[in-house]
Amino acid sequence: MALEEQCSAPPQWRSISLTHVEFAEGDLAGHVLAYISLLPIAILVGFVTLIVFKRELHTISFFGGLLLNEGVNWLLKHILREPRPCAGSHTNLQTDYGMPSSHSQLIWFFVVYFFLFLYLRMHQTNNARCVDLLWRHILSIILLGIALSVSYSRVYLLYHTWSQVVYGALAGCTIGIVWFFFTQEVLTPLFPKIAAWPISEYFLVRDTSLIPNILWFEYTVTRSEARNRQRKLGTKLQ
């Protein structure tokens, strides 16, 4: 009933600059939620950036899962062909179909995969201390809040119905779980061989799956190398 009332008196929509996400003019909450709904796009951009600069196989696999998730969403939309709520209220849409929500499916794929990575993958490779567990719990709560906010924003901004968002979340969670275990059980054992391929060596693609804490490893290696170079430079100057 609330949705019918909103559709009967459509608001004046405004678009965020350089994007096509629209919100009702004068609606501060809608303005904030419009930016929140852009987080899935920020995730995709972040992955591309990580791949370009890190070139790590597990990150590439994670990104491949995201692309697979998007492909499944496109397929489901064109099979089900369920229209969006308030048809015609938003003009800048890639498709008129709303089932399931692509934003909801992507963000829940990302969050569920990250949950499994934090509590299963990192548990296998690291002796968890209280501080480690604390930041994992805090990060998990933040990610859960982000996923719920993105999902709610799609309903609030009249891009999707609740059922479209819920089914998108279920699809994203399912694909995230399947892809995580596929990466763990099938792809990870192959990573050392893939990293040894000539093309991987040419593009500096690497496998860090056996390193427990990659941040600490990179920090210590970089610090050690910097000290060695500083020591050599000091010797030459003498």
pLDDT digits (tens, 9 = 90+) for 35-72: 888 888 888 888 889 888 888 888 899 999 999 999 99
Based on the domain organization, do 148 and 38 belong to the same domain? yes
State the angle between helix axes of 39-54 and 130-156 in degrees (0 to 180), rounded to the nearest 10: 130
Helix (H, G, I), strand (E, B) or coil at 11: coil
Give the tokens for residue 160. 């999707």
Number of folded domains in the chain? 2
In this predicted structure, the answer to whether residue 171 has a pLDDT above a threshold of 70 is yes
The answer to whether the CB of 69 falls within 8 A of the CB of 101 is no
Residues 155 and 225 in one domain: no
11 with 70, same domain: the answer is yes
Buried b (16+ CB within 10 A) or exposed e, 190-223: ebeeebeeeebeeeebbbbbeeeeeeeeeeeeee
State the pTM of this model: 0.82
Checking 3-6 for CB contacts under 8 A at 24+ apart, the result is 3/85, 3/86, 3/158, 3/161, 6/86, 6/158
**pLDDT computed for residue 111 by the predictor:** 94
How confident is the model over 101-142, as pLDDT tens digits? 888 999 999 999 988 988 887 655 445 566 667 788 888 899
Residues 70 and 97 in one domain: yes
What are the DSSP calls for 38-107, one per residue? THHHHHHHHHHHHHHHH-BHHHHHHHHHHHHHHHHHHHHHHHH-PBPSSTTS----S-SB-SS-HHHHHH
CB count in 10 Å sphere of residue 184: 18
Query: Are residues 126 and 44 part of one domain?
Result: yes
Q: Domain range holding 231? A: 212-238
**Which residue shows structure tokens 């209280």?**
130
**Strand-pair partners of 15:** 22
Give the pair of three-digit tokens for residue 176: 């995230």
